[in-house]
Structure formats: C-alpha cells, structure tokens
Amino acid sequence: MTIVIGLIITLGCMLGGFVAMGGHVEVIWQPWEYVIICGAALGTFVVANPVKTIKDSGKGIVEAFKNSVPSSREYLDVLGVLYFLMRELRSKPRNEIEGHFDDPDQSPIFQRFPSLIANKGLTIFICDYCRLILIGNARTHEIEALMDEEIQTMRTDKLKSYHAMSTISEALPALGIVAAVLGVIKAMGALDQAPEVLGALIGAALVGTFAGIFFSYAVVSPIASKIKLIREKKMRLYVIVKQTLLAFMNGAMPQVALEHGRKTISAYERPSIDEVERETLSLGSAASSEPAREAA
C-alpha cells in the first residue's frame, strides 16, 4: 500500500509541477518511447537472469506491494513452538519426540501455530536442527557454524531478485537515452518540416531520457529496496530460531532461551516479555488440560 501511495505522491508532484510551469501533459504521453524503454528493460532482465530468479522477482514485487513483513503473531508463533519443543526435548525420551520432526503437519505442537506451518522453509529449518539436538552428539559451536552457513545461503538466494532488479534500475537511464536517440533520428528525418512539427518530434525524443530516469529512481529502485527490506525481515525469523536453540544447547532453561531469540527482533517490532509469557503460559495450560480430558 505504501508503494501505491508513494507513486501517487511522486506522479502528482511531478505532473502538477510540470503543469504549473506551463507545460502540457499530453507532450509527455509518448507511448512508443515507453514501449522501447520498458521492452528493452524487460528483455535485458530475461537475458540476464534464470527463470527461477525471474519468477521470484515477480513474487517479490507482490510481497512489496502487500508489505508482507512478519507480523507480531508470526514472531509469537515462532517463539511459542520453540518453547514447547524445548520442553519436550528436555523432559521426554527420543522415541516420543521424533514424530514432531518427522511429520510436523501432524504434530500437535506445530498444529497450534498455523502461521508457522504455512512457512515450510522455517518449519524444516526448526525440525532439522531439533533432530541434531535430539541425537545429542553435536557440539554447540558446530551447530552454530552450520546454522550461519545455511542462513547465509538462504539470504543470498532470497536477495537474488533484489540484485536483479537493482541492475535493471541502473540500466534504465541508459535505455532512456537509447529511446531518446531513436527519437532524435526520427526528428532528423523531418528537418524539412515546419518548426512546430520538428519541435514536437524533438520534445517527444527527450521524453525517453526523462522516462528512463523516472522509471529507474522513482519506480524500480524503490521497489527493489522494498523487496530487500521484506526479505531481510523474513530472514530474521531464522535468526530467532538460531539464537534460541543455541542458548538451549548451552544449558539455558526454555523460558530463558526464548529471551535470547526475542532480543534479536527489532525493538519496534519485538513482542514484550509479558506477551511472550502470556502466550506460552496460555498455550501450556491448554496443552496440559488436553490429557486430563482424554483421561476422563
């Protein structure tokens, strides 16, 4: 939504200022100049990137327009599932816990947190490292190094669309010059025409330069930056898991280990310690009452 509002403000100020200076908006409307610039940019984008990156860029643009950053509910769900898994790892034998990691979709713990189950990558990440903890032979510093490497690899993959769009943003001013040169070539073919006709053709050619710079700095570059921001915030969920599980492996109680993960969330998005306690206590009470009902 913020992208749409920003574009409206940008276009409104730009066109409003142009009209206020005495300009005519219809002069800027040169559809074939835009076809040349946008078509060349799209073609260059397709040439430079694999199909997977092209598709992921489309997905990233949708995320940017929806502002799909993790919500407070998602942060609480991650902390909640980690809390209950750590309690299970601490108190139950291996054969009773393995089922949670082998089939998380059927796990009663994971089923309490639907937003987490929907995030397949994060669910797999949690299950993989809980399995390593369950085995019991892994050293903390080895797990930390492995987590860092995996998170960095995922981050690199998630930001490929950002880098691809940033490259196109940098190329757009040059593509605008290409469109302007083509317009000038057309104008040179009409040197025998009246000054009014020749002036209109030159004005249309210069629109190419304007459009290339505008699309670069006012459209593509901001959207690319938004994609990067959203993807970075989504990767923060993995860092929460990492810090929480490492603290648990080092001997921290589950509630204390959660604090290690909670503190990695940005201050203006971080749920308070009271919110986390209420969440875990309420879910813990619900979980403890289920066996009682079954026994009855």
- 201: Cβ–Cβ under 8 A, 6 or more apart, which residues? 183, 186, 187, 190
Half-sphere exposure of 110 (CA within 13 A, CB side): 20
Encoding tokens for residue 175? 């593509």
Q: Would you state the pLDDT for residue 127?
A: 92
d(CA 80, CA 122): 14
Tell me the whole-structure pTM to 2 decimals: 0.85
pLDDT in tens, the chain (296 residues): 788 898 899 888 988 888 888 878 888 888 888 899 999 999 999 999 999 999 999 999 999 999 889 988 899 999 999 999 999 888 888 888 888 888 888 888 898 888 888 899 999 999 999 988 888 777 889 899 999 999 999 999 999 999 999 999 999 999 999 988 888 888 888 777 777 778 888 888 888 889 999 999 999 999 999 999 999 999 999 999 999 999 999 989 989 999 999 999 988 888 888 888 888 777 655 554 444 344 33
Q: Would you state the pLDDT for residue 283?
A: 63
Q: Would you state the pLDDT for residue 285?
A: 55
Q: What are the sequence ranges of the domains in the chain?
A: 72-158+234-281
Q: Would you state the pLDDT for residue 19?
A: 87
Q: Taking CA 100 as the corner, what is the angle to CA 96 and CA 104, rounded to the nearest 5 degrees?
A: 160
Q: Would you state the pLDDT for residue 151?
A: 95
